[in-house]
A and B are shown apart, each in its own frame.
Chain A
Amino acid sequence: MFRPVLRSSTRLLRGTTPASFLSGRLAAYRFLSQEARSQIQKAVTSTPVVLFMKGTPDEPQCGFSRAAIQVLELQGVPQEKLKTFNVLADQELRSGIKEFSEWPTIPQIYVNGEFIGGCDILISMHQSGELETLLENNGVIPKVEETPAQSNSAAPAS
């Protein structure tokens, strides 16, 4: 679905000198056409949780993407609220999403259209409990009513 729109922006990219491409975020921002940008904007808001990954949830093609999908599964994100895009199947999306998020690596996670981060951030938010709170506050997973355990909650009782 991204192919036609993104093609024009990649062509532009190829035509630029490496030096101008290096000049950072502002330059990268310009490479993405308005049309491509609005397509991706539509994609990241199409469902509450959007994951751009390598491969599919059943067959991730990269350890970082695998970790990201596992965290989302552990959090109990329901399937109907999660959409994944395989960037390996669409080269234009792969470069487009990096420019859109101004983030150089895959996976990338969005919650209600807001960029959350990559694999490391997702995992550390998972460990700290921030991810659960974020997903609850965004209505992705139901709020747990019981009072959360105090400081020792990080280590589950066995």
Chain B
Amino acid sequence: MSTRSIIPGSVELSIREKLTTLLQPASLTITNDSWKHRHHAAMREKDGGNGETHFSIRVVSAAFKGKTPIQRHRMINSALSEEFNQGLHALSLETRTEEEITQASG
């Protein structure tokens, strides 16, 4: 797995910073999945598929209260419009409130 980097890249850091500001999250996990997509045609052109194009984000925040999944995803998508413009390709999002986590495990 020499292609995987443990040190967060600049896109990941910028995502973390923007989502922290926007959502004041109780927890925020960002995983760079780009290496999984290195054979993906669009990705081959970018650093041999070793870049920062695909991320999974799990975020728990009170800011999601009363919002539908679409509204939650839109909040994140628009906060990251700059990253999308500069080559961010796909986000896998899990957006929940603390109450929803308690309900799911209870």
Contact = CB atoms under 8 A, between A and B. Distances in A.
Interface of A: 18, 21-22, 24-25, 61-64, 102-105, 115-121, 124-125
Given A25-B78, A105-B90, A18 B85 contact: yes
A120 B40 contact: no
B59 to A, nearest CB: 12
Interface stretch (B7-15, B18-26, B69-77): B69-77
A64 B55 CA distance: 13
B70 A121 contact: yes
Nearest to A116: B70
A1 to B, nearest CB: 23
Contacts of B92: 119-120
B81 A104 contact: yes
Given A115-B70, A124-B69, 7 more contacts: A22-B85, A61-B41, A104-B84, A105-B90, A117-B69, A117-B70, A120-B69
Nearest to B90: A105
A68 B78 CA distance: 23
A117 B73 contact: yes
Interface in B64-103: 69-70, 73-74, 77-78, 81-82, 84-85, 89-94
Contact of B77 (A18, A62, A103): A103
Contacts of A61: 41
Given A18-B85, A120-B93, A104 B69 contact: no
Contacts of B74: 102-103
Nearest to A98: B84
Nearest to B41: A61
B94 A120 contact: yes
A62 B40 contact: yes
